[in-house]
Amino acid sequence: MHILHVVGARPNFMKAAPVMRVLGKWADVRQTLVHTGQHYDNNLSDVFFSQLSLPAPDANLEVGSGSHAWQTAEIMMRFEPVVLERKPDLVVVYGDVNSTLAAALVCSKLLIRVAHVEAGLRSFDHTMPEEINRIITDRLADVLFTPSEDADINLQREGIPANKICRVGNVMIDSLVQLLPLAMQCPRNGLPERYALVTLHRPSNVDDSASLRSIIKSLLDVSKQLEVVFPVHPRTRQRIAQFGINTEKLHLLEPLPYIEFLALQNRAAVVITDSGGIQEETTYLGIPCLTLRSNTERPVTVSMGTNVLVGQDLALLNSELAKILEGKAKIGSIPPLWDGHAGERIADALHP
Ligand code: UD1
């Protein structure tokens, strides 16, 4: 059996690695890895390959950055000949990035089976590009691997037949479980003992000058009580420069490799973020997470985990932060099947 995996952007790598590792143990499975090149900076891409022990890609489409239409179309045009040449029996796509959607569209038209890992998540917010990618990818996929019960319910509500849905748990947590021991040995590198860890890259937060300005202002307020450590996504760095926003009191870093970032999360007093994956990782680690969004496609992190949605409500951010600093943070638990074995369940389901 020939399985082709498609990755493109940072959050894909930690999802594909565990699946490829387990499938690699089957003698009758041949695997091909295609990198679309949606993320191309070393610290958003290459370093993840080495830390997660992903094999070098068999093909890199080197698509780079552009508008959504341009990027999606370009991936489709460059991916189609690769699939035609390599003739996989099944293509596995991960998460909700433009590379995921583009690959699923190409394969469905070539009548090649598609498996979607991390299916069924819904924010119900159609202004979010990832939500469009999720809905269409799930509609096209033949096998839908879900991380939690809410995802199964969303898919059933959309009329996806139950026999296509397979709940396997959270595959990203497999990578976390595997590499946490290494993260715990990371040196502190001069970072403060107690700090708030911040990440920010959602277009709705960073592309608009007023909203980015107000978020940074509230982070400057936070920094009066707690040092703010902020590895900055390239999109956000560009916007901060473009809008001329002063971030002097914040501890800005370059985007970090997987293990170093995991170490920072695990030692943080609180994480303030608009990322999807980080809401899940903090829930697993039991670290308080304040999410700068008014909705989430990962509601289990709120109902069971440590996540609190604060949107852009700065008063709420402050009151939640005060609770955490007083030692009254929300206590969470780890959702079912977030146990480090989701990759095995996926491999078992894929293997004929
Ligand atoms: C993408 C995903 C998002 C994911 C995020 C993680 C989509 C729609 N969005 O958003 O779901 O959470 O990745 O980072 O697929 N850039 C670089 N170097 C790179 C890549 C990008 O400098 O290696 C800059 C470019 O200026 C680019 C901008 O970052 O225009 C945004 O990159 P893009 O891949 O379009 O989307 P992300 O915001 O990273």
- The pLDDT value given to residue 189: 82
> How far is CA 257 from its chain centroid?
14
Percent of the chain with pLDDT over 70: 100
Task: Say yes or no to pLDDT of 333 above 80.
Answer: yes
Does pLDDT of 120 surpass 80? yes
Q: Is 10 in the pocket of ligand 1 (CB under 6 A)?
A: yes
Q: Quick one: average pLDDT of 18-39?
A: 97
How large a percentage of the chain has pLDDT more than 90?
A: 98
Q: Can you tell me which atom of ligand 1 is nearest the CA of 275?
A: 12
Q: Measured in angstroms, how far is the CA atom of residue 133 from the centroid of ligand 1?
A: 14
- How far separated are the first and last CA of the chain, in Å rounded? 8
Mean pLDDT score, 153-168: 98
Q: Is 21 in the pocket of ligand 1 (CB under 6 A)?
A: no
Q: Quick one: tokens of 75?
A: 């991936």
- Cα–Cα distance between 175 and 270 in angstroms, integer? 22
233 annotated active-site? no
Does any ligand 1 atom lie closer than 6 A to the CB of residue 39? Answer: yes
Check pLDDT > 80 for residue 311: yes
Q: Which two tokens stand for residue 305?
A: 């985990």
Q: At what angle do helices 209-222 and 314-325 cross, to 10 degrees?
A: 20
Instruction: Supply the residue whose CA is at minimum distance from atom 20 of ligand 1.
Output: 39
Give the pLDDT score at 188: 87
**Residue 352 pLDDT exceeds 80:** no
pLDDT at 348: 96
The reported pLDDT for the residue numbered 80 is 98
Choose, from 5, 39, 201, 251, the residue flagged as catalytic.
201
Ligand 1 pocket, residue 191 CB under 6 Å: no
> Does the beta carbon of 305 sit less than 6 angstroms from any atom of ligand 1?
no
Tell me, what's the pLDDT at 191? 87
Average pLDDT estimate for 207-218: 95
Mutate to test the pocket of ligand 1, among 40, 42, 43, 65 (most ligand atoms within 8 A of CB): 65
Q: Is 38 in the pocket of ligand 1 (CB under 6 A)?
A: yes
Residue type, 232: V
Dihedral-angle region of residue 89 (phi above 0 means left; psi in -120 to 50 means alpha; beta otherwise): alpha
Per-residue pLDDT band for 254 (boundaries 50, 70, 90) equals very high
CA of 328 to the centre of ligand 1 (A): 35
- For residue 218 and ligand 1, the question of a CB distance below 6 A is answered with no
Residue 36 beta carbon below 6 angstroms from any ligand 1 atom:
no
Measured CA to CA in angstroms, residue 72 lies from 10, 11, 76, 78, 106 at distances of 16, 17, 6, 10, 11
d(CA 182, CA 204): 34
Over 80: is that where the pLDDT of 238 sits?
A: yes
- Per-residue pLDDT tens digits for 45-57: 999 999 999 999 9
The pLDDT value recorded for residue 344 is: 97
For residue 95, which atom of ligand 1 is closest to its CA? 11
Atom of ligand 1 at shortest range from CA of 11: 6
Q: Which residue puts its alpha carbon closest to atom 9 of ligand 1? A: 97
What is the mean pLDDT of the segment spanning 69-77? 98
Q: What is the pLDDT of residue 190?
A: 85
Burial class (CB in 10 A: 0-12, 13-18, 19+), 348: exposed
Query: Which residue CA neighbors atom 22 of ligand 1 most closely?
Result: 234
pTM (predicted TM-score): 0.97
Q: Give the span between the Cα atoms of 97 and 183, in whole angstroms.
A: 26
- The pLDDT of residue 171: 98
Q: What is the mean pLDDT of the chain?
A: 97
Q: Assess whether the C-beta atom of 129 lies below 6 angstroms from ligand 1.
A: yes
Q: Which atom of ligand 1 lies at the shortest distance from residue 44's CA?
A: 23
pLDDT (mean) for 247-273: 97
Q: What's the rounded mean pLDDT across residues 126-130?
A: 96
